[in-house]
Structure 1
Amino acid sequence: MSQKPANAPWRNFYGRRKGHALRDSQEAYLAEDLARLSPGAVDWDVNPERNALDLKALFGGRPVWLEVGFGGGEHLVHQAATNPDVGIIGAEPYINGVAMLLGKIRAAGVTNLAVHPGDVRDLFDVLPDASVARAFLLYPDPWPKARHHRRRFVTPEHLQPLARVMQPGAIFRVATDIPDYVRQTLEEVPPAGFDLLGESGVAWDDWIPTRYEQKALREGRVPHYVTFRRRD
């Protein structure tokens, strides 16, 4: 594994990077497709100067969307297929989820996607200011214990750089089945530079259920869909 340069910030990472053994087909997806789908030089070992990504070259000037933690990639591929006029970057450190996404990309034949298989904080470093037109945070790790709430995405460590890279008026969607995650989201996101547009038990019109949502429903938990707008 490559080492970060000495000037790289120290960032705690919580959660799994790999689960069960990958199937041969998934190993092939990673070997054959992942490098081609890179958004550019993101990691510190290949971009220690933190030069900004060239999103115009990446997506031909199309609006850029971002999904933070795409799980198995169902929603990401759905959005790419139904919105060919945008470019979408997905960030996910769990390599099993990345492999699942790559299989779905092949099956769907979508070409307007880029994939960062790592910590979204590293991606934030190299996204230009006000470059993202829409962002999604869907069923993030709930970290249910109170002492772990600081590990959640909806904390200033993540929300401040997210706000920096989002355009004025850009939409930020959050979906979760954890009531306390809704509470923290409603408390933490507006001070980072967002206005609340709505919080509902009814999904967005262009929503596709994910495996995490289906599991929540099977276990009797109620999904919440929260929408914010990046302040001008």
Structure 2
Amino acid sequence: MSDKPKSAFDPKPPRRNFYGRRHGKTLRPSQKGYLSEDLGELRPRGISIQENPERSPIDPKAIFGDDRPVWIEIGFGGGEHMVHMAATYPEIGIIGCEPFINGVAMLLGKIRAAGVGNVSVHPGDARDLMDVLPDASIDRAFLMYPDPWPKARHHRRRFVTPEHLLPLARVMRPGGEFRVATDIPDYVRQTLEEVPLAGFDLTRETGEPWEDWISTRYEQKALREGRIPHYVTFRRQG
């Protein structure tokens, strides 16, 4: 493969398309309250062009106030997994990325209920966050039940393509862990083909979840509909 993970921060990211939904059903009053009252405090600064026109790298330490390990979840859905990880590992900081505003509102409600404080929420495309993260600044990344884009002509929209994986490889620390969960066999195929090419080694491929796993609503839907979950783990090379 000719493309390699960039070894330095790129201040001029390419223009890109976004696929998927940003809004769903009308939000409940409580969810609107979460967005207006909680999101501003939890949102990391310096990701948007308006806040960071020079696209200078942001400091993950500034987000959480210390040098704790930082994890990211790419597309956190309803937030069950992200809040569970934050509660299970209070010594880390976790940044969740999700452009679907209904999912963001659901996550904020779960954060309130759980009382976790080691979280940060980017209500947008994960690529925008990776544009401004420094090299080798992330210790673990999660891709839990991503959009399957089942039609063959849409496979290029999946996260497990070079457009997404090379920036992820740049921001991951050597030895950092990348977990993928999906119930779509062809997504597993593409994951196993593409992720190693971006600079990761496969360490685990199984139908058994991780020991610290919590089943999400997306997984429960897959099980009800007869699809089999699959769990894959990679390590960043280097």
Name the counterpart of 1:4.
none
Amino acid at match of 1:25: S
Whether 2:133 is the aligned partner of 1:121: answer no
AA aligned to 2:207 is: G
1:71 aligned to 2:102? no
Structure 2 partner of 1:105: 111
Cα separation, 1, equivalents of 2:16 and 2:63: 27
Matches of 2:172 and 2:14, distance apart in 1: 22
How far 1:8 moved relative to its partner? 6.5
Q: Give the corresponding residue for 2:6.
A: none
8 Å contact from structure 2 (residues 48, 128) kept in 1: yes
Matched, 1:39 2:39: no
The alignment covers a number of residue pairs equal to 226
Amino acid at match of 2:208: V
Give the percent of matched residue pairs that are identical in Structure 1 and Structure 2. 74
Deviation at 1:12, TM superposition (A): 0.6
Note if 1:28 corresponds to 2:33.
yes
- 1:198 is paired with a residue of what secondary structure? strand
- 2:223 and 2:19 mapped to 1: Cα distance? 26
Residue 140 of structure 1 pairs with residue 149 of structure 2: no
2:45 counterpart SS class: coil
Structure 1 residues 8 and 183, CA gap change in structure 2 (3 angstroms): closer
Q: Any unmatched runs of 5+ in structure 2?
A: 1-11
Could you tell me which amino acid in structure 2 is paired with residue 221 of structure 1? R
Where do 1:1-232 residues align within 5 Å? Answer: 9-59=14-64, 60-232=66-238
31-40 vs 51-60, which deviates more? Answer: 51-60
The alpha carbon displacement at 1:48 in A equals: 1.6
> 1:70 touches 1:97 (CA, 8 Å); kept in 2?
yes
- Amino acid of the structure 2 residue aligned with 1:108: A
Q: CA deviation at 1:9?
A: 3.4
Q: Does the Cα contact within 8 Å between 2:13 and 2:131 map onto a contact in 1?
A: no
RMSD, matched Cα? 0.9
Larger RCO of the pair (alpha carbons < 8 Å, separation 6+): 2
Alignment deviations for residues 10-52 of structure 1 (CA, whole Å, 9 cap, x no partner): 2111110000000001001000110100122111222121111
Q: Given the two structures, how large is their TM-score scaled by the length of structure 1?
A: 0.96
Does the Cα contact within 8 Å between 1:163 and 1:192 map onto a contact in 2?
Answer: yes
User: Which residue of structure 1 lines up, in the alignment, with residue 3 of structure 2?
Assistant: none
Q: Which runs of 4 or more aligned residues in structure 1 lie more than 4 Å from their structure 2 counterparts after TM superposition?
A: none
User: Which amino acid in the other structure matches residue 18 of structure 1?
Assistant: H
Contact 2:45 2:51 in 1 (8 A): no
Alpha-carbon distance in structure 1 between the residues aligned to 2:38 and 2:91 = 22
Following the alignment from structure 2 to structure 1, what is the Cα–Cα distance between the partners of residues 236 and 15? 28
State the alpha-carbon separation in 2 of the partners of residues 58 and 10 from structure 1: 26
The one-letter code of the counterpart of 2:152 is: A
Task: Report SS of the residue matched to 1:170.
Answer: strand
For residues 39 and 46 of structure 1, what CA distance do their matches in structure 2 show?
A: 11
Per mean C-alpha deviation after superposition, the further-off stretch among 46-55 and 98-107 is: 46-55
| AA at the equivalent of 1:13 | F
CA–CA distance in 1 between the matches of 2:174 and 2:45?
24
C-alpha separation in 2, matches of 1:219 and 1:161:
34
Report the CA distance shift for 1:57/1:227 in structure 2 as closer, same or farther (over 3 A).
Answer: same
Aligned to 1:228, what secondary structure does the other structure show? Answer: strand
